[in-house]
Amino acid sequence: MSALPKLAGKLVIATHNAGKLREIQALLAPYGIECLSAGQLGLPEPAETGTTFVANALIKARAAAEASQLPALADDSGLCVAALDGRPGVYTADWAERQPYEGGPGRDWYMAMGKVEGKLAEQGPAVDRSAHFACVLAIAWPDGTDAVYEGRVHGTLTWPPRGTLGFGYDPVFVPHGDTRTFAELDPAEKHAISHRADAFAKLVADQFAV
């Protein structure tokens, strides 16, 4: 990793998700990086055709770096539920996509949380409710160089959803060591323990260590 270019100045965040952008900006703020989102630059969203978090993160980062000619950071993350054989996993966002009969297009995260809960309920009250959030951060440079950093946070799923902070499946995820959901945690608390924070700690050690 020592041969990698170092991040400085402008960095494209390859996302159109406002919640994810806010988290990444907050994590990068101490390092003087100017974050520009793919949405702000009008970059298209590439098809996420990978079957792993790593593959999809690299697809997004490489596409943004090529289109902008700036270093780009992409995040691919999701909820992996033990009793559902790791699903929704890389299809985490897809489970929130509304179909025409559900009032689509767009994403409905309450519906997605309900799908997970419904599948758990089918297995009975003794079902294993353990889960983890996984995050892969990929950085790509215009010259074709790239790097990948992976993080996780483990916890359990609760129902009904609680809290109004965070985004996605945060209202049903209780991290180990706490009784509050991610959506009940102050953003600073969540940033300190999240799967994204775990991956960022590895990125920071690699990119900004003196």
CA distances from 114 to 52, 87, 167, 205 (A): 24, 14, 15, 38
Whether the per-residue pLDDT at 20 is higher than 60: the answer is yes
* Number of domains into which the chain is organized: 1
Instruction: Give me the pLDDT at residue 91, please.
Output: 92
Instruction: Supply the mean pLDDT for the chain.
Output: 89
Instruction: Give me the pLDDT at residue 1, please.
Output: 42
Residue 5 domain flag: no
Residue 169 domain flag: yes
Torsion of CA 59, 60, 62, 68, to 10 degrees: 150
Whether the per-residue pLDDT at 2 is higher than 50: the answer is no
Residue 146 domain flag: yes
Residue 3 domain flag: no
Residue 2 domain flag: no
Amino acid symbol at 17:
N
Residue 152 domain flag: yes
Whether the per-residue pLDDT at 90 is higher than 90: the answer is yes
Residue 28 domain flag: yes
Token pair of 204 as six digits: 């920071």
Domain of residue 37: give its range: 10-207
pLDDT tens digits along 96-153: 888 765 566 678 999 999 999 999 999 999 999 999 999 999 999 999 999 999 999 9
Q: Cα–Cα distance between 208 and 103 in angstroms, integer?
A: 45
Residue 35 domain flag: yes
Token pair of 31 as six digits: 């390092």
Token pair of 153 as six digits: 């946070």
Instruction: Give me the pLDDT at residue 105, please.
Output: 65
- State the CATH number of the domain containing residue 167: 3.90.950.10
User: 153: Cβ–Cβ under 8 A, 6 or more apart, which residues?
Assistant: 132, 133, 175, 176, 193, 194, 195, 197, 198
Indicate the helix (H) or strand (E) that contains 120: helix 109-121
Q: Cα–Cα distance between 155 and 178 in angstroms, integer?
A: 9
Instruction: Give me the pLDDT at residue 196, please.
Output: 87
76 as an active site residue: the answer is yes
Instruction: Give me the pLDDT at residue 3, please.
Output: 62
Whether the per-residue pLDDT at 195 is higher than 50: the answer is yes
Q: Is the pTM of this model over 0.95?
A: no
pLDDT tens digits along 149-184: 999 999 999 999 999 998 899 999 999 999 999 999
Residues 76, 146, 170, 198: which is the catalytic one? 76
Whether the per-residue pLDDT at 210 is higher than 60: the answer is no
**pLDDT-above-70 percentage for the chain:** 95
Instruction: Give me the pLDDT at residue 101, please.
Output: 59
Instruction: Give me the pLDDT at residue 199, please.
Output: 93
